[in-house]
Amino acid sequence: MQAILSRQSYAARPQREHDAATARALTGGGDARIELSFAGTNQYGCPPRPDALLVPFGSSTASVVSTRGFQSAAELYARLRRHPQRYCHEALRLRQDLLALTGASSVLGTEVVLAASGTDIHLIATQIAAQGGSVPLQAVMVEPAETGSGVPAALSAIHFSARTCQGNTVFKGDPIAGPSLREPAFVQLRYGDGTPRHADDVDAEFASRAERIVRSGGHCLVVLTDLSKTGLIAPSPACAARLRSKFGSKLIVLVDACQFRLSPSTLRAYLEQEFMVAITGSKFVTGPAFCGALLLPPGIADCARARPLSALRRYSSRSDWPEGWPSAAALDDSPNVGLLLRWKAALTELSGFRAVPTRDIQQFLMNWGHAVADRIASDPTLEALPVAQIARTKYANQIGWDSLQTIFPFLVYRHACNGKRVPLCRDQTAKLHRQLQEIDLTAGSLSSAIEIETTRFQLGQPVPCGLRAGTPVSALRMCSSARWATEAAGDVQGTIHAVRQAMKAFDKLTLLARRLDQASAHLG
C-alpha cells in the first residue's frame, strides 16, 4: 500500500509543479497592484489559486479565480510551454472568442485590443482619441472615487504606477512620451451626504464641460461610466449620444464598462453608436484581476489604424493589437503570458454564463437582489447607499438582466452607549472588510453561530461616500456575479444557497459591529 501511495504521489508531482508555475504566471504582466504580499494575495486580497473556502461577493473589486478558470488557464499554459511560438496564434484566437462571447462580433468591423487593466485601457484610449496630438485632448469623467484611482493619471498620459505591465520601471507621476493631454475634468455623482445627484443635473454638467473644451479649440473624450463602483451610470447614454452628434469628430465617447455588467444587446447598442467600450474579465465575470480589453467600433477602428502608438511601448505589445494593425509595428513583440492566461480563465466563466437562459439569469438576480435589499433595509446595523434605477430602455432594443441592480452599497453602524447609531469611520470600515475575510475563533463568545464566525466572506472594497454626522464614511458592497448566476440560475436550491450565503455575510458583519459596540462600552 505504501508503495502504491508513493507512486501516486510521484505521478502527481508534475501536475503540482505545473499548477504552481501557472499560479506564478497568473501574477505576471501587470503593475504593482498584482504583486503578491507576504500573505500570498494581491492588492485586492486575492491569491492566484482557487480558494474554495472564501465566499465571493466582492466582484465590484475583484474575485478569486475559480477552479474551472484556473484549470483552463493551466491547460493553455501547458500548450504555451510546449510551443512558445504559438503565443500570437493563441492571442488571436482569444480575441476572436472574446468578440463572440461578449456579443461584439455582431457589429461587423469591431476590433479588440488586449490590455492588462482598466487603467491601461484608459491610457490606450487616449492615444487613439488624441489623433496624433495635433489638437489638445481633455477628458470629462466621473469623480475618481467612483472609478479607478489611477484613471485620472492615465487619461492625462501620466505614469500611474512605478512599474508597467511590460515590466518597465518608471517614475509614477511623470508624463508618458507622446501627445500632451490636459488633466481630466471631474463631475461629482453624489452630494456630500452620499445621496446621488439627479441624472439631469449630472448630464447638464457633462454637457457644459464638454462644450467648454470643444469651444476653446480642443477635442473632448467623454468617459461614460457604466457602472461606477457604487452602481451608477453617468453621463446617461442619451446625453453621450447627443454630444457625439453635436460635436462630431471633435468628441469621442469611451464607455468605461470595466465592471462588465452588460448584456450583449447593451454592448451592441454602444458599439453601433461608435462608442469605444472598455471591459474587463475580472469584475462581474469573475476572472482573475488584471485582464482588460478595449473594443473599437468599426468607424473608430478604421481611423485609428495609422495612429502613432510608440508612446505605449511600455504598456502594450504588438500581439495585443489586431493582426496586421499598421501602427502596432512600433511596439515590441513581447508576449504577456499572464494577461493571456487571465483572460482564458475569465472567458471560461463568461462561456458558462452565456449558456444560461436569460430568463433564468433575470430570475436569479431578481430573487437574490430582493433578499439582499430587504436585509439591508431591515438591519439596524446597516444603511443602504441609494442607487438610481438602471434604465436602459432608451438605448438598448430590449430590457435585459443588466437593468437589475447587482451592486448593493451600504454603510455599517455601531450603537453608542446612549443607544444612538454611530456610523463607522473609514478606517473602521476598512478593518471590518479585512476581518470578514479572516477566520476568528475568538468571536465565539459573542454567539453560538460558530459557522458564521469562522466562514470567510469577500465583499467589494470600501468606497468613500461623503459624511454622516460629520464622520467621513465608506460603503461596503455586496455584489452578485456571473459565477453566482451560472451556478444558481434555474435551480431553486442554488438560489436558496446563494441567498443564505449572503445572509451569513451580513450576520458576520453584525457580529463584528457588535464587537465594536462592546469595545466602545469598555473604553467608556
CA–CA dist 245, 214 (Å, integer): 13
Mean pLDDT score of the chain = 91
Supply the DSSP symbol for 324: T
Predicted structure pTM score: 0.94
pLDDT of residue 7: 46
Residue 521 has pLDDT above 90, yes or no: no
Share of the chain above pLDDT 90, in %: 79
Q: pLDDT tens-digit profile of 101-150?
A: 999 999 999 999 999 999 999 999 999 998 766 789 999 999 999 998 89
Band of residue 449 on the pLDDT scale cut at 50, 70, 90: low
CA–CA dist 44, 328 (Å, integer): 32
Among 78, 72, 79, CA closest to 15: 78
CA–CA dist 352, 368 (Å, integer): 19
CA–CA dist 235, 208 (Å, integer): 12
Q: Average pLDDT for residues 40-47, to the nearest whole number? A: 92
Q: Average pLDDT for residues 167-177, to the nearest whole number? A: 91
Residue 363 has pLDDT above 60, yes or no: yes
Q: Average pLDDT for residues 262-279, to the nearest whole number? A: 96
pLDDT of residue 8: 45
| Cβ-contact 281, 49 below 8 angstroms | no
Residue 508 has pLDDT above 80, yes or no: yes
| Cα torsion angle, 194, 199, 203, 205, sign | negative
Q: What residues does each domain of the chain span?
A: 80-352, 357-523
| Cβ-contact 224, 207 below 8 angstroms | no
Q: Average pLDDT for residues 40-57, to the nearest whole number? A: 93
Q: Average pLDDT for residues 72-99, to the nearest whole number? A: 95
CA–CA dist 489, 29 (Å, integer): 34
Q: pLDDT tens-digit profile of 200-254?
A: 999 999 999 999 999 999 999 999 999 999 999 999 999 999 999 999 999 999 9
Band of residue 445 on the pLDDT scale cut at 50, 70, 90: very low
Residue listed under C-alpha cell 467600433: 297
Residue listed under C-alpha cell 469577500: 458
CA–CA dist 62, 284 (Å, integer): 8
Identity (one letter) of the amino acid at 12? A
C-alpha to C-alpha distances, 334 to 163, 243, 263, 295, 317, nearest whole angstrom: 16, 39, 33, 22, 6
Largest interatomic CA distance in the chain: 82
Q: Average pLDDT for residues 329-335, to the nearest whole number? A: 91
- How many C-beta atoms lie closer than 10 Å to residue 313's C-beta? 18
C-alpha to C-alpha distances, 210 to 146, 239, 300, 349, nearest whole angstrom: 20, 11, 19, 38
Q: Average pLDDT for residues 277-286, to the nearest whole number? A: 97
Q: Average pLDDT for residues 167-188, to the nearest whole number? A: 90
**Is CATH 3.40.50.1360 correct for 80-352?**
no
Runs of H (alpha helix) within 318-443:
337-354, 358-378, 426-436
Q: Average pLDDT for residues 62-89, to the nearest whole number? A: 95
pLDDT of residue 448: 47
Which of 152-156, 178-182, 197-201, 301-305 is predicted least confidently?
178-182
pLDDT of residue 15: 87
Residue 498 has pLDDT above 60, yes or no: yes
Residue listed under C-alpha cell 469623467: 141
pLDDT of residue 49: 95
| Cα torsion angle, 84, 315, 460, 24, sign | positive
Q: What is the CA 252 to chain-centroid distance, rounded?
A: 22
Which of 65-79, 126-140, 229-243, 265-279 is predicted least confidently?
126-140
pLDDT of residue 135: 85
Share of the chain above pLDDT 70, in %: 91
Q: pLDDT tens-digit profile of 13-36?
A: 788 999 999 999 999 999 889 999
pLDDT of residue 393: 56
pLDDT of residue 177: 80
Q: pLDDT tens-digit profile of 377-434?
A: 999 999 999 999 887 755 545 568 999 999 999 999 988 667 788 999 999 999 999 9
Q: In this structure, what C-alpha cell is assigned to residue 321?
A: 493589437
